[in-house]
Amino acid sequence: MRVAEDWSLESVRSEGSDGRFNRRAIKVEEAQRRVLAAARTIASELVPLAEAGGRRLAQQLLATSDWPPFARAGLDGYAVRAADTAQASPAFPAALRVVDTIAAGGLALAAVEPGTAARIMTGAAVPSGADAVVMLEQTAEGMAGGERAALVKAAARPGQNVAPQGEEFRLGSPIMEPGELLRPGHLALLGTFGYAVVPVYRRPRVAVFATGSELLPVEAPLAPGRIRDSNSAMVAAMIRQRGGEPILCGTLPDEPEAVSEALIHIGGDVDLIVTTGGVSVGDYDAMALLLRELADFDSQFEVFPDSLDMLLFNRVSMRPGSPTSAAWIGGKLVLALSGNPGACFVGFELFAAPALRAMQGDPRPDHRKVQAVLARELKKGSPHDRYVRTSLLYGDDGRVYADPLAFGKSSMTASIAQAEALVVIPSGSLGAEAGSIVEAWILPQ
């Protein structure tokens, strides 16, 4: 990581309050744009099909055959010519001589000709000459001319209960696109087309640092004036939830030199660095002091050069977490989140989550957004847009209701576990009334 040659803690402090407090806030959307511009797509790898779940696809995959590869019976019954059943009814069934029995995986030994039928099982290939399958419950066994016959009690129409060849996919047609999150159904489809190994993006390796001399390890007993580091475990879980691999790097003291050295040391081994704490305007906020030495963001950069360090932003027009910052340091994206647990949670959702998605080939917005009815009044206004943790209720009227959770202050952890969505309350002096329509960003569960 390159910092200014004359950098020192004293030189930063000597700037006085102007540099500390006059941080220009940018809109969330602009901050997200800058983060996504810096989130480089990472390399891909091949993994066995059974291990591909939860990964993101790294290249377009094509159908290796028509699917179904043959006309296929949709249920157990009899393969028939629909024309032979046109007059069939329960009182006057059509008697069709049975010429074959076809199991799934088997092949017909005889074609279905006028006046005949073939017993067929679900998934079996429909024999030549047949254009419909009559379900077993609409037939009975009988005799016709001294031979075994199917008594069909209902008229069939052409194509009934038959999946035609290529109904779902044609040979060479796309079945999945890069960036798709592979769920169980995707794996079934990939297995169908013979993909024993799957090209997926490598899991992004994310370094996690917690800054603050007040922080203790989780296992340590509390001491006067000290608190345990709760953010690191939360952030690690959120990274895993978004397909990444967290590298927990422990805590750092409120010393910019120590923070800089740690970032330099870990930078070559990871794809993204996330820090928590130290981004506000206090005398000892190490990340804020360090980031102020970087050059301002220049929008000319579509690809960020490894040789140039720069500040992307150091204040966002949002509550909670307005001091949230981002930088391009040593060829790596660094996201500096607030140390307050609630603000850290929101900052990760707004910036780290979409960055991880983009690094795995999908730059689309990370959250599903719905219109919801605010269940309770939020009196407090804000000069910035507010992102309020809420639970969701689904009313009998078909509408979604967002119920703001208690203990919603940024420093409080009590409501984080119950949060199902973030409701966006636009900036203003009045807050939002109960019954107003708000935008809710659905959180992964």
- Block means of pLDDT (10 residues each) for the chain, length 445 residues? 38 43 84 94 97 96 97 97 97 96 95 97 97 97 87 97 97 96 97 98 97 89 91 96 95 87 88 90 73 67 77 92 91 93 95 96 84 90 90 92 76 82 89 92 91
226 within a domain of the structure (yes/no): yes
- pTM, two decimals, is 0.84
127 within a domain of the structure (yes/no): yes
How much is the CA Rg of the chain, to the nearest whole Å? Answer: 31
pLDDT at site 16: 41
Q: Can you tell me which residue has the tokens 């979604």?
A: 400
CA distance 16 to 19: 7
Give Cβ neighbours of residue 253 (< 8 Å, ≥ 6 apart): 211, 212, 213, 286
Shared domain for 182 and 224, answered yes or no, is: no
Give Cβ neighbours of residue 345 (< 8 Å, ≥ 6 apart): 234, 238, 389, 416, 419
Shared domain for 229 and 350, answered yes or no, is: yes
147 within a domain of the structure (yes/no): yes
The distance from CA 131 to its chain's CA centroid, rounded to whole angstroms, is: 43
Contact between residue 21 and residue 323 where contact means Cβ atoms under 8 Å apart: no
Number of structural domains, the chain? 4
Looking at 143, 163, 183, the residue that finishes a domain is 163
Shared domain for 129 and 33, answered yes or no, is: no
Per the DSSP assignment, residues forming a β-bridge with 102 are: 120
229 within a domain of the structure (yes/no): yes
Shared domain for 243 and 307, answered yes or no, is: yes
CA distance 177 to 403: 37
Shared domain for 355 and 303, answered yes or no, is: yes
| CATH code of 392's domain | 2.40.340.10
| CATH code of 39's domain | 3.40.980.10
pLDDT at site 22: 63
Shared domain for 354 and 210, answered yes or no, is: yes
Contact between residue 96 and residue 49 where contact means Cβ atoms under 8 Å apart: no
168 within a domain of the structure (yes/no): no
Which two three-digit tokens encode residue 138? 């609409």
Looking at 163, 192, 212, the residue that finishes a domain is 163
Which two three-digit tokens encode residue 385? 């847009």
Single-letter code of the amino acid located at 74:
G
Contact between residue 321 and residue 334 where contact means Cβ atoms under 8 Å apart: no
Contact between residue 243 and residue 58 where contact means Cβ atoms under 8 Å apart: no
Shared domain for 280 and 411, answered yes or no, is: no
Q: Dihedral angle at the C-alpha atoms of 20, 25, 29, 33, nearest 10 degrees?
A: -50
Contact between residue 99 and residue 108 where contact means Cβ atoms under 8 Å apart: no
67 within a domain of the structure (yes/no): no
CA distance 340 to 323: 11
Contact between residue 215 and residue 223 where contact means Cβ atoms under 8 Å apart: no
pLDDT tens for residues 137-180?
Answer: 999 998 877 889 999 999 999 999 999 999 999 999 999 999 99
Shared domain for 27 and 123, answered yes or no, is: no
Looking at 340, 359, 378, the residue that finishes a domain is 359
Shared domain for 32 and 89, answered yes or no, is: no
- Measured CA to CA in angstroms, residue 238 lies from 338, 351, 421 at distances of 15, 12, 15
Nearest to 42 by CA among 239, 204, 208, 244: 204
Asked whether the CA dihedral 130, 134, 136, 141 is positive or negative, the reply is negative
Contact between residue 249 and residue 184 where contact means Cβ atoms under 8 Å apart: no
Shared domain for 394 and 286, answered yes or no, is: no
Domain span at residue 152?
A: 72-163
Shared domain for 206 and 192, answered yes or no, is: no
4 within a domain of the structure (yes/no): no
235 within a domain of the structure (yes/no): yes
Shared domain for 217 and 335, answered yes or no, is: yes
The distance from CA 84 to its chain's CA centroid, rounded to whole angstroms, is: 52
The 3 state secondary structure assigned to the chain is: CCCCCCCCHHHHHCCCHHHHHCCCCECHHHHHHHHHHHCCCCCEEEEEHHHCCCCEECCCEECCCCECCCCEECCCEEEECHHHHCCCCCCCCEEEEEEEEECCCCCCCCCCCCCEEEEECCCCECCCCCCEEEEHHHEEEEEECCEEEEEECCCCCCCCCEECCCCCECCCCEEECCCCECCHHHHHHHHHCCCCEEEEECCCEEEEEEECCCEECCCCCCCCCCEECCHHHHHHHHHHHCCCEEEEEEEECCCHHHHHHHHHHHHCCCCEEEEECCCCCCCCCHHHHHHCCCEECCCCCCCCCCCCCEEEECCECEECCCCCEEEEECCEEEEEECCCHHHHHHHHHHHHHHHHHHHCCCCCCCCEEEEEEECCCECCCECCEEEEEEEEEECCCCCEEEEECCCCCCCCCCCCCCCCEEEEECCECCCECCCCEEEEEECCC
